[in-house]
Structure 1
Amino acid sequence: MIKTYNILGDIMDEFKEFLKTVPSVKQDVLNGRYTWQQLYEIFVMYGKDDKFWQPYKTNSSIDLNGLLEIIKNIDLNALSSSLSSIEKVLNVASTFLDKKEPERERKWYDE
């Protein structure tokens, strides 16, 4: 029995999965900069790691590992101290902004 492979279908599925990682490319298609066919051909000829895709990857991908590293390296004591200082500054500023006009004496005809 001869095995047949649906190479075009596999590549198309891979292209569709790749597009999910670079959703900002859709805007360039809608703006008429590229067609889906052009993007598919670039994907097939050069692959997903080609420099053509770099602007889309940097704009749309979030490096979760990098984000976790940043979060792990946050000094919570320093953050708490900074927030406390900001709160104090805002309280001082609000005292200047909240000054109300002094109430004037009410006369019998104001009532």
Structure 2
Amino acid sequence: MAKKKLHPSVEKFKEFVKAHPELVQEVRKGNTTWQEMYEDWYLLGEDDPKWTNKSNNDKDEKSEEKKTDWIGTIMGAVKNMDPEQVQGQIHNISQALGAIQGVLSQFQGSKGGQQASNSSGPAHPFSFRQD
């Protein structure tokens, strides 16, 4: 049976993996998959620093970097917020929610008389009825 000829890029990737045996260990440990590895190699190229800085803590470093970056982004956004603009947005959201609640209460009211009388709600939110 003849061996199936692989795509030239796959052949190059196989050569790259042979030159970087630590990548095989990363896949075997479950830190990544061959598909992810191939896509990174294809998009980033062989000269990307990712391939020279491979270590056991690579995933942890990436997730920590993402967390730090996310927090920095949020903090930057908070610093640049205009309190009056935020208050206006909160007011608009509150009005939209009120409108949605009004529409929902109209739909619930059309289901029956019993539910319509309960849609306004009891005077006390935790009213108990005796059996």
Query: Does TM, scored on the shorter chain, surpass 0.5?
Result: no
Pairwise TM-score range, normalised by the shorter structure: 0.3 to 0.5
Q: TM-score, normalised on structure 1?
A: 0.42
TM-score (ref. length: structure 2): 0.36
Instruction: Determine which structure has greater relative contact order: mean sequence separation of CA pairs < 8 Å that are 6+ residues apart, divided by chain length.
Output: 1
